[in-house]
Amino acid sequence: MASLNKFPRLQPEPIKKNCRVSDLIDGCFKAYNGGRLAEACRLFSQKMLADDGTVGMSITGALTPAGLGKAAIVPLMKAGFVDWIVSTGANLYHDLHYGLGMALHAGSAFLDDIALRNEGIIRIYDVLFGYDVLLDTDAFVRQVIQEPEFQKTMGSDEFHYRLGRFVFEREKKLGLSETSVLSAAYQYGVPVFTSSPGDSSIGMNVAAMALRESSLQFDVNRDVNQSAAIVYGAKSAGGKSSVFILGGGSPKNFILQTEPQIQEVMGIHERGHDYFLQCTDARPDTGGLSGATPGEAVSWGKIDPGNLPDCVVCYADATLALPLITAYALSKAAPRKRKRLYDFRDQTLDRLRKQYMKSGTVEKIAHRTDLSRKKRS
């Protein structure tokens, strides 16, 4: 029984009228995924944001159509709590609707989709908007990418920075403020990558304009190296690197593969990300939890094994968890000076390049699968 003394006693506080979110989480979220959410809040606000650590966020699932870009992600960037982002293209595309002042509506998941189609209404679960929202957003993207500054090959972070500037200008004309993730990322110098540039309506419009002889191309090699450079820049300067993962999918792997890119591919000594926080409703035993658990990520070198206890997976819908974590962090942690990592992208990449050329591994390593070795008779 004495061993129980090392565990805190369960004594939840009674919920009172007008209870603050932070008090509710600290006082009542004690077990199961409520307990994991409380751990997530404390990990983010007390450790990931401490000592000027670098925080990357990955975004999967239809979060921006639900308004969580404006409600949560933009406030986190503004407070200096998110330093760089990897997102699905779809989240960035639907984010544009808000920056362009278009109307999305809270509807129902149980409507007649054939009737909606006949009325020109699009449904994302219980979010509704007119088909003209798609057409007008597409037209905006096509108009912007015809500008001379887009007629070249560029990383997706540069593309989103330039696109964000046009969204920012449109917001000002419409009298809007802080409605768009891309606009806020432009203002605050937050690099935004997408791991699959062609897998969204933004990429579809870029592809269509290529048929009209647009010279815009995405430099995926730069994206891989640039994102790894952000992590290497943080760690080599003696700082911490953290990942805040919403959902899973390709953005999760892309933000985590930065460490294997440094260690495995480039052969530069590193130990992995320091802190790992994921909100997901997927399960590892069915193969649905993309990138799997923090423990499994340790085996890949993605997570520092010494910090495994400081890794939290909260099995909860991100549309529930993200607003709560955001409210908790904003009430518990002081705003940080924004790193504006985008402003130093060339210097950051050059630092990684020099280290790779100096001490990285490029030679062939003898291995039993080396096809150049003679087969045994």
Q: Which domain holds residue 213?
A: 20-356
Q: 133: which residues sit within 8 A by CB, 6+ positions away?
A: 97, 102, 103, 104, 122
pLDDT, tens digit, for every residue of 190-231?
999 999 999 999 999 999 999 999 999 999 999 999 999 999
In a domain, 340, yes or no: yes
Q: Classify 370 as helix, strand or coil.
A: coil
Domain holding 256: CATH number?
3.40.910.10
Sorting pLDDT into bands at 50, 70 and 90, what band is 377? very low
pLDDT average, residue stretch 16-45: 95
pLDDT confidence of residue 376: 45
8 A C-beta contact, residue 45 and residue 333: yes
In a domain, 63, yes or no: yes
In a domain, 362, yes or no: no
The DSSP line for 64-128 is TTTTHIIIIIHHHHHTT---EEEE-HHHHHHHHHHHTT---EE--SSS-HHHHHHHTEEEETTEE
- Positions annotated as catalytic residues are 302
Phi, psi of 252 (to 5 degrees): -65, -50
**Residue whose pair of structure tokens reads 């419009």 in the numeric block:** 205
In a domain, 321, yes or no: yes
Q: How many domains does the chain have?
A: 1
∠ at Cα 302 (301, 305), nearest 5°?
65
In a domain, 341, yes or no: yes
- Six token digits for residue 129: 């908007």
pLDDT confidence of residue 163: 98
pLDDT confidence of residue 199: 93
In a domain, 145, yes or no: yes
Whole-number Å distance between alpha carbons of 24 and 376: 67
Sorting pLDDT into bands at 50, 70 and 90, what band is 371? low
Other Cβ atoms within 10 Å of 3 Cβ, number: 6
In a domain, 371, yes or no: no
pLDDT, tens digit, for every residue of 130-165?
999 999 999 999 999 999 999 999 999 999 999 999
pLDDT, tens digit, for every residue of 273-322?
999 999 998 877 777 665 567 877 888 778 888 878 788 999 999 999 99
In a domain, 361, yes or no: no
Whole-number Å distance between alpha carbons of 178 and 162: 17
